[in-house]
Structure formats: structure tokens, C-alpha cells
Structure 1
Amino acid sequence: MSDKITRRDFIKSMAVTTAGIYGLQLLDDNIAFAQTGNIIAVAQGPLEKGADREAIKKTTKQAIMALGGMSKFVSKGSKVLIKPNIAWNRTPEQAANTNPFVVEAVVEMCLEAGAKKVTVLDYTINPAQVTYDRSGIKSAIEKTKASLEFVDDRKFKEKSIPNGQILKSWIIYQDALDADVFINLPIAKHHSLTKLSLGIKNYMGLIKSREEIHTRIDQKLADLATVIKPHLTIMDAYRVLTANGPNGGTPKDVKLIGQVIAGVDRVAVDAYTATLFGLKGDQIGYIKASNTMGLGEINLSKVKIQNVKVA
């Protein structure tokens, strides 16, 4: 697919083509799905409840419902891969990893939509046996029928990046490329190198030789984004790390914002999330580079922001 063809246009054209065979209802469903490319949903949770499990889950689910529900993305029998940030040996209160209650809510919605298998994984920085547990994500997943897996080195494969400006190929976790539905589930946080670690930066947990990405990182992340293509990005901005990222550790650096942002357009989701830190999307190099490559919309005035207030 050419970079000049937007994800929305591609899905809509497929819907129109397919409808002649499968009928008007499928056309309506696919067009509705396509239209979410112009929308990001911002669900505001009740701050007075703090980081309450049920409040976080409800906020997460309301963000996805504002896009039409998980059934717009996950069909019955689908195999779903969910990629949170579980990189660090940190507790949920330290906001270095995706909140476990956000992960739990997304898993539940995928299963309710009829997913045959839901897999959750990350290629972690600290040992996964430790981070999966201390992050609270292992405990959250054990409450569901999803599978929390460690990465398998045999599944990292060399992938051509034909449209990359710097990277022409890289070793990427194949399951993320092959999944029927790939959901990117980052946490919003400060990062010492890229200013912020958001959705596109979360792809680092799907690749080998990460240290080699650190030089000219912004364009390299945009190059990776031309082949790593989540169907849905759900941003955990409930409790965010405002300084000393990406791993943090000091409670004073954590701020309760109480938002979950969801959308098909990963550039728009990242650009909106940057505003929570007092920044614009074009001040974050990899967001700007991804927009320049035609991977999404950075100008929020061109994006419909569906605000949802959760009681």
C-alpha cells in the first residue's frame, strides 16, 4: 500500500469492493470502521476516585466504545496481539509500564467481541519474569482467558522496510506483523532521549538491536512505523510519568491525569497525548517524522476529538 493512501481510504475502498459480494451490511460496518480513522476518542475518568481499578477499566472501555466498540476491530475467531509497555521493574504506582487495569479492560473487550485467542506480550528491558509480575499485568491477565507470553527469539525475523529513509530492513517480532488484529497499548510518559515515550515509541518493544536505533531515533522510529501497523492504538494516560523517564521510580514524578485515548490514527493519538505534557506533536521528532511520511495526521484541528466524561 502506498504511503500516499491513508489507512482510512484503504479500508473504505476495501469495504466498497467487498460489499458487492457480501452485502450492504458489511459495507456499512466497514465504512463505520474506516471513519474512525478521522476520530480519536478521549475518555476522562473520575479523578476523585484516584487510580481505582473499576474506574480505570470503565474509562478504557468508554474510550473504545466511542469509536464504535471493539467489534469494529475484532471479529469472531480473530487472533489478537496486544502490546503494552511492560519493560520495567516498576509497580503501577510508578507509571513506567502500562496500567494493568487498562490492559485487563482491553483484553476483556477483545474476548467479548469473539476473539479466538488474545496474546499479551512485550520484549522487555528488565527481565520479563520480573516485569510481568511487578507491573501487575500478570495478575490482571490471570483474571481473563488471555495468554501472557514471553517473547520467543525464534519469532524475530528480518523485515524489509522499502519506504524507510534510513532503515531498509530490521529484525521485528513476526507475530506483530501476522496478527489478525494488532493493538498497541502504550503508557504516556517522559523520555530522556525522545522527550516523550508514546505509541510509536512503543514499537521498540517489538524489535531487536534497540541500541542501534538510538542514533537518529526519530526518523528510524518513523521508518519502523511504515511496516509496524497497529489496527488500534489505545493510550494509557491515566497515571503518567512526567519526568525521569522512561523508567522513573519517584512518586513525585507521577501525575494523575485520568485519560485513556484511542484511535486508528497513531500519529493523531500521539499528537494529542503530547498536549497533556504541554507540547505539540511537531515538537516530538518521531511524531513529526511519521506525519511527514504520510502515516497519520499531526494537525489536531483536522481530527475529530470525541470527548467522553466517565462518572
Structure 2
Amino acid sequence: MSAGSLVLNSALFKFAFGQEESSTGRVTKRIKGMHDLVVAKGEDPYIMTVKAVETMGGMRKFVKKNSAVLIKPNIGWDRSPEQAANTNPYVVGALVDMCFKAGAKRVNIFDRTCNDTKRCYENSGIEKIAREKSANVFSPDDWNVIKAKFNYESPMEGWPVYRDALECDTFINVPILKHHSLTGLTISMKNLMGICSGDRGMMHFDIGTKLAHLTDFIKPDLTVIDAYRVLTRNGPSGGNLEDVLDMKTIMVSPDPVLCDSYAANLMDRDPLSISYIEQAVKLNLGNADIAKADILTIKT
């Protein structure tokens, strides 16, 4: 029997008898940046991203030499960058460059897509730009998962999470800000759905609690929100350019709750009206009170 067959048979045995490996999530300490949140305004999404991270204290605050980094964009839809359903590829490209410059040994990028994976990766523009910069862009493996465990009662207990999302030294969450028909908005916590295997439809029940618990489980080290082009209605997939607004804004913070709250405010939404922000505040995962945060806006 080949080694490949042994691995497959082991995976089948674990799947059949419910003996998958479990984890209580990433163990990480939130790194304090130079500010609570940096907001960049400008014309070039690559430059805006670089300047925002530099103003936060630089990527070396978050990425150490010879480390493994996961960059998690939204690549869920078969849409072009102009349609604003996926993260801007130049934002992702800037993060890849900064991670390698900071000394990362490996930069992984993946998403569990809603449309055909090959078309999503190609038409988003993310795969091409990231691979040109030596990032490892791949489709997640539904066999290569770890069951989530919590030290409190959670609807996410036992949910399969891709191992690649956990086995990284630095997790950078880089969503696009857009309208979503179910949750109101897709921002960073909603973007974490793409690291989960399992029944996507079941995630939609009590989704606010699930996403807050998932955020607690993953503990993103850095959140970078792409609001360069924003899908203002008919999300999450969009498709009509008339629904897209040029906001030309990038937000960077170690605090996903603050980042999402500021983004919600940009969309004229009370942050606490977004279920996952409300639930994250209850778990003390971050600050939703923008007025009490150290926020610096820069122009590039």
C-alpha cells in the first residue's frame, strides 16, 4: 500500500468514526500598534495599504523572520475587481510584499469560494498578483481540517476549520467591505467563514454568534479592510457596476471589532446593529466605540 493510500485511509477512518483532531484555536497575544486604527485615503490601493501598515508601526510588528503567514482575502465570487465582490488584488499584493520584506518564510493565501474556485481565483486578479510575488495560493482541502473546541458553550463547537488557518504564525484578515443580504454587511468577521469547511448553509443560523466565536477562535493578528471600491447593494455577489461606490479607503487595525465598527459607520450603519459586532462586544473581543479609539486618518 502506498503512503498516499495510507494517508487517505487514515483520513477516511477519522471521518467515519468522528476522531478528527480538535483544537481550542490559535494562541496569540494581540499586538498593540502605534494607533488603534489607521485609515488611509488615496488613489492607489497598493500605496494606501503600505502606508497604512507603516503608520500602524510596520509589518515587522506582526510578522517575524522565518515565520509562516496566512493572508485571508475574500475570493468567493466569480467577479472582476471592478465589481467589488472580492478583495482588491493590489491590497493583497501589498500585504504579500510587506510580509516577505518583514522576513516571512512562507505566505499562504486561500478562501473557500461560493462560485467555481478556478474562476474566482483567476477573475478576482488575486491569484495572478499573489503568485507573481511568490505567495502560495491554493484551494483548501476538505480532508485537512481540525475541529473547533471552546471553553464555553458555542454553536461552533466541533465545526471543521481548515488546518492552514490555524497552523500559521501570523493571520492577516483582509476582507472587502460590502453589502450582504443576510448580515447587512460583510466585513472582517464575516470574511472568516472562508476558513471553515462543513455545511455553509448551517452557518447562517445564529450567524452573529457563530462569527463572533469564530473570531475568538482564530484571533486574527491584523485586520486590513478594503473599502477602495464598495458594493453598496445586492451583495454579497453583486455584478452590476451601478451598485459600486468608489470610497478609496483602507482600514488597518489589530482590533477586528474596531475595524468592523468603523467600516459599518462608513456605510451609515450603527455597528451594534450588525449581529456579529454586537456578539463580539459581548465576548470582549474588541472595542466598538469609535469615539473612544485612537484613530488616525492619512492621505496618500
TM-score scaled to structure 1, two decimals?
Answer: 0.85
2:54 corresponds in structure 1 to 65
Kept after mapping to 1: 8 A contact 2:87/2:176: yes
Task: Report the CA distance between 1:217 and its aligned residue.
Answer: 0.9
1:200 corresponds in structure 2 to 189
The 10-residue stretch of structure 1 (71-80 or 153-162) with the greater mean CA deviation from structure 2: 153-162
Kept after mapping to 2: 8 A contact 1:268/1:300: yes
Task: Report the CA distance between 1:201 and its aligned residue.
Answer: 0.2
Task: Report the CA distance between 1:142 and its aligned residue.
Answer: 2.9
How many residues in Structure 1 have an aligned counterpart in Structure 2?
Answer: 272
| 2:219 alignment partner, SS class | coil
Is the aligned partner of 1:286 residue 2:284? no
Judged with a 3 Å threshold, the aligned counterparts in structure 2 of structure 1 residues 240 and 173 are, in CA distance, closer, same or farther, namely same
C-alpha distance in 2 between matches for 1:302 and 1:176: 31
C-alpha distance in 1 between matches for 2:42 and 2:259: 17
1:98 pairs, out of 62, 87, 90, with 87
Task: Report the CA distance between 1:139 and its aligned residue.
Answer: 1.7
2:32 pairs, out of 34, 44, 65, with 34
2:223 corresponds in structure 1 to 233
1:212 pairs, out of 202, 208, 211, with 202
Is the aligned partner of 1:221 residue 2:221? no
C-alpha distance in 1 between matches for 2:260 and 2:54: 19
C-alpha distance in 1 between matches for 2:123 and 2:164: 25
Structure number with the higher helix fraction is: 1
Is the aligned partner of 1:180 residue 2:169? yes
Kept after mapping to 2: 8 A contact 1:164/1:226: no
TM-score scaled to structure 2, two decimals?
Answer: 0.88
| 2:38 alignment partner, SS class | strand
Judged with a 3 Å threshold, the aligned counterparts in structure 2 of structure 1 residues 154 and 219 are, in CA distance, closer, same or farther, namely same
The letter of the residue matching 2:32 is A
| 1:34 alignment partner, SS class | coil
| 1:295 alignment partner, SS class | coil
Is the aligned partner of 1:121 residue 2:110? yes
Is the aligned partner of 1:86 residue 2:75? yes
Task: Report the CA distance between 1:130 and its aligned residue.
Answer: 0.9
2:178 corresponds in structure 1 to 189
Kept after mapping to 1: 8 A contact 2:33/2:56: no
Is the aligned partner of 1:251 residue 2:251? no
Q: CA RMSD in A?
A: 1.3
| 2:159 alignment partner, SS class | strand
C-alpha distance in 2 between matches for 1:231 and 1:225: 11
The letter of the residue matching 2:223 is T
Structure 1 gap ranges (5+):
1-6, 12-32, 47-54
Identity of paired residues, percent? Answer: 42
Is the aligned partner of 1:270 residue 2:260? yes
Is the aligned partner of 1:107 residue 2:105? no
| 2:218 alignment partner, SS class | coil
| 1:267 alignment partner, SS class | helix
Structure 2 gap ranges (5+):
1-27
| 1:274 alignment partner, SS class | helix
Q: Which runs of 4+ in 1 moved over 6 A?
A: none
| 2:220 alignment partner, SS class | coil
The 10-residue stretch of structure 1 (184-193 or 299-308) with the greater mean CA deviation from structure 2: 299-308
Judged with a 3 Å threshold, the aligned counterparts in structure 2 of structure 1 residues 169 and 39 are, in CA distance, closer, same or farther, namely same
C-alpha distance in 1 between matches for 2:56 and 2:174: 16
| 2:217 alignment partner, SS class | coil
Kept after mapping to 1: 8 A contact 2:109/2:136: yes
2:13 corresponds in structure 1 to none
C-alpha distance in 2 between matches for 1:163 and 1:65: 37
